[in-house]
A and B are shown apart, each in its own frame.
Chain A
Amino acid sequence: MTWKDIEIGGIVTEPGSASYLQTGTWRSRCPTYDHSKCIKCAICQTYCPEGCIHQNAEGYYLADLFYCKGCGICAKECPKKVITMIEEKE
């Protein structure tokens, strides 16, 4: 987007533009899961500041890595230590 494409006053004309912003590229650490320990309590989902943790078909909770910024709050709060943060790969 060039400066000429900016709408007057930086107005955003279509709703929901934040959904296109891939905040997952900000991540330096990535959540990994050992679902054998998971009790599906949803504490990770409740605490996620990005609101990007969703249940999969089996009912386990996973972060959407398109948005996950790797803050690690889910790993810290999980009472069963399901989640381990590992270094993000290039």
Chain B
Amino acid sequence: MEVSIAVSEAVKLANADVIAAYPITPQTHIVEHLAELVAQGELDAEYVPVESEHSAMSACLGSSAAGARTFTATAGQGLELMHEVVYVASAMRLPIVMAVANRAISSPLSVWGDHSDVMSVRDTGWIQIFVENGQEAVDNTICAFRMAEDARVILPVMVHLDGLHLSHMVEPILLPDQKEVDEFLPQFNYPLPLNPNKPVTMGAFAPPVVFTEAKWAQEMNLEKSKEVILEIWKKFGDKFGRYYNPVECYRCQDCDTLIMTMGSFSETAMMAVDRMRESGQKVGLFRIRLWRPFPYEELRRTVKNAKTIVVLDRAISLGMGGPAASELRNALYPLEKRPKIVGFVGGLGGRDVSPTDFETIIRRGMEIAAGGSNREFEIYGVRE
């Protein structure tokens, strides 16, 4: 099954009430299939074909505020167009679930995948999860609804899946039984829904005397959501047999050198790690799955014995470097024994990074860790 179609099927299993979305490559297949499911009567939901992504997220605010289980999906430029409303969803504590088929940002125009769109919504206050394959996309879409709607959380959740490299893959995927998903995903009751019999003001003006308190309440809520996220992943694993963690490790025990990735390229990096292990090199891999709230403790635990960490960022923060490498450095700086961190930027705008490329990146990273570099970060694969 194509991964995009599988994500739509997961939304159907979650029995979403409202889908408001605008098609954009490489996310289109997700909402296209959902529109079909609604039109064919297979999913009892309201499908709102809006005129733009700004309207898509705005419609989602309204339906979520009314207490409806709400889903949307977007990518790249679409995420940019809805940008201001993305902040509003989390600040108003509306538990919308959004799949983002990660795509590069113009210009030059590109419909292909990288993490530029993710990095532009880092600070929006959403829970953000990276998935690496179709099964993870299905499982985490279902988990996302439960995380979003948990009475201790009530926050929107983004599920990031790599555009094209993952969204358009055809893979064997297990779809859970409807009955089991129903058991896992209880009915949602928003605490203060839009209700003519009990009118409330949502999204009100906040003067300086209360704005800081509102932001701190939001931050405390997002930080505390992590324990609920862990609990929900555990419950999902106990029921369906597949467990997820904020930081995922692959052969990262007893390693001098670790590589850090996010998203579907992680599976390619695993092949490079296997090859290097076979040739006797102590190399391992870890991936950030829970991007927000940021998994500080888990990262520190994962890297505590490593001497070098090589990071491949599939986005460039122009004038600065790789965003994930910089966040990792920030997380590890308080450690007394800090590993060296070598940042690479690569795989931009759909450029493939093969297992051999990963081996080259890891080797070059080890060289830089030993001998230094006159650059703050490196770019991989650029033609000179």
Contact = CB atoms under 8 A, between A and B. Distances in A.
Q: Which of A2, A8, A17, A21 counts the most B-chain CB atoms under 10 A from its CB?
A: A8
B214 A10 contact: yes
B93 A9 contact: yes
A6 B199 CA distance: 17
B207 A10 contact: no
B284 to A, nearest CB: 41
A10 B200 contact: no
Given A3-B214, A3-B217, A15-B201, A10 B192 contact: no
B48 interface: no
B94 A9 contact: yes
B370 interface: no
B214 A6 contact: yes
B192 A13 contact: yes
A7 B214 CA distance: 9
A3 to B, nearest CB: 4
A10 B94 contact: no
Contacts of A10: 91-92, 202-204, 206, 214
B109 interface: no
Contacts of B318: none
A4 B91 CA distance: 15
A85 to B, nearest CB: 24
Contacts of B216: 3
Given A1-B210, A17-B201, A21-B207, A11 B192 contact: yes
Does more than half of chain B's interface fall in helix, strand or loop, or is it mixed? loop
Contact of A3 (B91, B199, B220): B220
B154 A8 contact: yes
A9 B91 contact: yes
Contacts of A7: 192
Contacts of B217: 3-4, 6
Contacts of A15: 199, 201
A7 to B, nearest CB: 7
B65 to A, nearest CB: 9
B200 A11 contact: yes
B182 interface: no
Interface in A46-85: none
Interface in B182-236: 191-192, 199-204, 206-207, 210, 212-214, 216-217, 220
B126 to A, nearest CB: 14
A12 B210 CA distance: 12
B92 A9 contact: yes
A15 B201 CA distance: 7
A12 B204 contact: yes
Contacts of B192: 7-9, 11, 13
A86 to B, nearest CB: 26
Nearest to A8: B93
Contact of A6 (B94, B154, B203, B213): B213
A24 to B, nearest CB: 14
B201 A11 contact: yes
Contacts of B214: 3, 6, 10
B197 to A, nearest CB: 13
A1 B207 contact: no
A85 B94 CA distance: 46
Q: Which of A1, A5, A7, A9 counts the most B-chain CB atoms under 10 A from its CB?
A: A9
Given A1-B210, A9-B91, A11-B202, 7 more contacts: A1-B213, A3-B216, A3-B217, A5-B213, A6-B217, A15-B199, A17-B204
17 contacts: A1-B210, A2-B213, A3-B212, A4-B217, A5-B213, A6-B210, A6-B213, A6-B217, A9-B92, A10-B91, A10-B203, A10-B204, A10-B214, A11-B192, A11-B200, A12-B201, A21-B207
**Which 10 A-B pairs rank lowest in CB-CB distance, beginning with the nearest?**
A9-B93, A12-B201, A3-B213, A9-B92, A3-B216, A6-B217, A3-B217, A12-B204, A8-B93, A10-B214
